[in-house]
Amino acid sequence: MKIRCMIERVGGSRVSIGDVEYHFKPTYPGGPHVAEVTDKAHIGRLLGIAEGYEVADDEEAADLPAPPSGSSLGVDGKPETTAVSQREVLEAMSEDDLIANYGPKSPMGLKIDRRMLKETIVERILEEMEGA
């Protein structure tokens, strides 16, 4: 199933789930950032992050797995957005993507680098987002 990452970055986004890395990137210039995801558990995990991912092809929507436990569905049938969801989006990103998109050379300009633990990087980003 093709899944679209709604956060579009230059060079695409690399997301690791377990031992599998997905590269969400456009298939044509200016196109949506998509990746083919075949593992049903991975599909469920990504689609459980409503503000980050969606089914790229509406025809495949009928085959969706159930949302992750603990999530509730909104009026539109998609999982409701929670504060935990933003954390999940950040935790799914690689350290390189976190630094490229939130580090010193990014518009956000946070003082983060590769010597820091990924958990520390994620916490600093979340703190900055809450303060913004």
Instruction: Give 1-14 pLDDT, tens digit per residue.
Output: 999 998 888 888 99
Coarse DSSP helix, strand, coil percentages of the chain, rounded to the nearest 5 percent: 35, 20, 45
Name the H helices within the chain.
Answer: 40-47, 83-92, 95-102, 118-131
Distance of alpha carbon 36 from alpha carbon 46, whole angstroms: 12
CA atoms within 13 A on the CB side of 31: 12
- Look at residue 67 in the predicted model and tell me its pLDDT: 46
Give domain status of residue 86, yes or no. no
d(CA 112, CA 121): 6
Is there a single domain that holds both residue 56 and residue 21? Answer: yes
d(CA 60, CA 50): 17
Number of domains in the chain: 2
In a domain, 105, yes or no: yes
Question: In terms of pLDDT, which residue wins out, 129 or 125?
Answer: 125
Are 46 and 101 in a shared domain? no
| In a shared domain, residues 73 and 130 | no
Q: Is the domain of 7 the same as that of 66? A: yes
Residue 59 lies in a domain: yes
pLDDT digits (tens, 9 = 90+) for 52-71: 899 987 544 444 444 444 44
Which of 38, 56, 79 is the last residue in one of the domains? 79
Residue 52 resides in a domain: yes
Do 63 and 110 fall into the same domain?
no
Q: Is residue 85 part of a domain?
A: no
Domain ranges, residue 99: 94-132
Q: What was the pLDDT predicted at 48?
A: 85
Residues forming a β-bridge with 24: 13
Per residue in 62-118, pLDDT (tens digit) is 444 444 444 444 444 454 444 346 777 788 888 888 888 888 887 778 899 889 999
Query: Is there a single domain that holds both residue 11 and residue 49?
Result: yes
The predicted pLDDT at position 85 comes to 63
Residues 73 and 105 in one domain: no
Shared-domain flag, residues 55 and 105: no
> Residue 81: its pLDDT value, please?
45
The mean pLDDT of 33-43, rounded to a whole number, is: 91
Out of 23-32, 76-85, 113-122, 123-132, least confident range: 76-85
